[in-house]
Amino acid sequence: MLNNVISQRSTFFILLAAHTDRLVAGASATLRLITGLGNEGHQTALLIEEVNLNETSADAIKADFIRLLYESFTTPINRDQLHTLILDLDRVLNTLQSVANAVNMYNIGNSTPEARALASLASDACLLLNRAVIALSDREQAPRLAVLCPQIDALESQASDLMREAITKLFREEGDEQAAWHAMKMRRFYFTQVAVLHGCKRAAHTMEEILLENA
């Protein structure tokens, strides 16, 4: 009976790590998608599909995680906090999917330095989330978790500053109707990219709350 409980408790962390593995993979595909836009032979459709497949896979992991929450008599961390964390992580991947799909919806044929920089920051933040989730499973790694979460916060702040600069640049010069439309769609695209970082920050804050409660 005890072994079963211990195994069940470890499964929560295994599923969280598996979900953030999909998150890292989705962010990597999004980065490659945006970085390669406009290059000859760029496989835009395949990379968008890669992001979508990672999101679908993560949804299945989320469903297993929530089912385990309902079925488990005990949980390694507060049940509500675990539920909040998996939803936070899932929102990040959903937003990455929105970024990837927006490439087609907005007909974005070429990336900008700002879009590439934002995609890189998002990829870094997702990688830090993965490391933070792994650290969450081990009480001895609490100091590491306490360092990783502020790093994610810092990346979000950097992304927000970059977005403001990018949008200012878009509207600095007046142009024709086509230029105005381009500015509007890129503004929306940048907002969606930064929303990925906002989601990462939210998940990091949830982990900080867990860390403080269990200190």
At 147, the amino acid letter reads V
Q: Tokens 């929102």 — which residue?
A: 91
Where along the chain do its domains lie?
A: 2-213
Neighbours of 186 (CB within 10 A): 20
pLDDT value of residue 177: 65
Count of alpha carbons within 13 angstroms of residue 141, beta-carbon side? 12
What pLDDT digit, counting tens, does each position of 191-206 carry?
A: 999 999 999 999 999 9
Percent of the chain with pLDDT over 90: 67
Closest CA to 84 of 211, 188, 208, 203: 203
206: tokens are: 């949830």
**What's the full length of the chain, in residues?**
215
User: What's the CA gap between 135 and 182, in Å, rounded?
Assistant: 42
What pLDDT digit, counting tens, does each position of 134-193 carry?
A: 999 887 888 898 899 999 999 999 999 999 999 888 887 656 567 777 788 899 999 999
Q: How far apart are the first and last CA of the chain?
A: 28
- Kindly report the CATH number that applies to the domain delimited by 2-213: 1.20.58.220
Three-state DSSP state, 9: helix
At CA 176, angle to CA 173 and CA 181, rounded to 5?
85
Is residue 140 exposed (0-12), middle (13-18) or buried (19+ Cβ within 10 Å)? Answer: exposed
Contact yes or no for 47/33 (Cβ under 8 A): yes
Whether 90 shows a pLDDT value over 50: the answer reads: yes
What's CA 33's distance to the chain center, in Å? 15
pLDDT value of residue 174: 57
| Cβ-Cβ contacts under 8 Å for 84 (sequence gap 6 or more) | 206
Question: Computed over its alpha carbons, how large is the radius of gyration of the chain?
Answer: 19
